[in-house]
Amino acid sequence: MSWWGKVIGGGFGFMFGGPLGALAGMALGHQFDKGLNLSALEPGNPERIQLAFFTATFSVMGYLAKADGQVSRSEIQMAESIMGQMNLNAEQRKAAIELFNQGKQDDFQLDEVLSQFKQECHRRTSLLQMFLEILIATAFADNALDTTEHTALKRIAADIGFSPQQLEQLIRMVGAQQSHGQTQRPSIDNAYAVLGVSRDISDTELKKTYRRLMSQHHPDKLVAKGMPEEMIKLANEKTGEIKSAYEQIKQSRG
């Protein structure tokens, strides 16, 4: 049974308490509290992390969409696009929308949610990075990253353990990846930006970077670490963009 099946079927038997548990409880229409038994799935269990990832992703996405004072149609479409890519069933989609709406509330506990999410991920850096990349893509939904969104991303990144420098590199990479995917003939500069490297990188270092990025975004590895299996299409798109950029650079170098 999948993580979602266990949630609906009562196989979790607990919900994990804290702000994430409260959000998931509201989204699922169940009543859970902090005192319920946690023994059904121990901390670090992939299915428990999948529920935490789902809950944190859509709620923080709502927070970020509201960061500039209003939720634009393009940001709503981005959220809907991710839901579409995940092939969510009716119940999952309803829960995702409720989480998105909870994130837009003025009393949303961002720092507490992120603190618990980081703890649930148990130092799975690639998983936390994928979470951050999804949020950056949300911020770029209207093809612009304004000051308030940038400030919100800095806060989010810091809360889950990413430095300002790491965030800026991810912003450049995600922005380039989205541009790469939307352009029929992306520039070579864009290809280098997709990989987060400069044009003077050696062939050896280029290959190392490519392999590292492909490993970080490998769908099976991310799912094994706790990314909901419904998000596998997002990871596949990431690896596709990375591979396309790498092949373009290799071809340009002869």
Q: Which residue has the higher pLDDT, 201 or 178?
A: 201
Q: Residues 224-228: what's their mean pLDDT?
A: 86
Angstrom distances, CA of residue 172 to CA of 117, 166, 168, 182, 198: 25, 10, 6, 16, 12
Q: What is the pLDDT of residue 36?
A: 38
Any idea which of 2-11, 65-74, 141-150, 164-173 has the lowest mean pLDDT? 2-11
Q: Which residue has the higher pLDDT, 76 or 197?
A: 197
Q: Which domain holds residue 85?
A: 3-253
Residue 166: band (very low, low, confident or very high) from pLDDT cuts 50, 70, 90:
very high
Q: What is the pLDDT of residue 153?
A: 97
Please state the domain count of the chain: 1
**Long-range CB contact pairs, 239-243, < 8 A, 24+:** 239/214, 241/177, 241/180, 241/181, 241/194, 242/177, 242/194, 242/195, 242/210, 242/213, 242/214, 242/217, 243/214
Q: Which residue has the higher pLDDT, 8 or 88?
A: 88
The widest CA-to-CA distance across the chain, in whole angstroms, is 62
Residue 13: band (very low, low, confident or very high) from pLDDT cuts 50, 70, 90:
very low
Burial class (CB within 10 angstroms; exposed 0-12, middle 13-18, buried 19+) of 141: buried
Does the pTM exceed 0.75? yes
pLDDT at position 164 over 50: yes
pLDDT tens by residue, 37-81 = 444 556 667 778 888 999 999 999 999 988 877 777 877 887 888
Q: Residues 96-116: what's their mean pLDDT?
A: 94
- The set of residues, in sequence order, having a beta carbon less than 8 Å from that of 158 and lying 6+ positions away, is 164
Please provide residue 102's backbone torsions phi and psi, each rounded to the nearest 5 degrees.
-65, -40
Any idea which of 10-14, 62-66, 110-114, 215-219 has the lowest mean pLDDT? 10-14
Residue 33: band (very low, low, confident or very high) from pLDDT cuts 50, 70, 90:
very low
pLDDT at position 29 over 80: no
Residue 239: CB atoms within 10 Å: 16
Q: What is the pLDDT of residue 167?
A: 97
Residue whose pair of structure tokens reads 């428990």 in the numeric block: 48
Share of the chain above pLDDT 70, in %: 85
Share of the chain above pLDDT 90, in %: 46
- Best CA proximity match to 118, nearest among 161, 152, 80, 78: 161
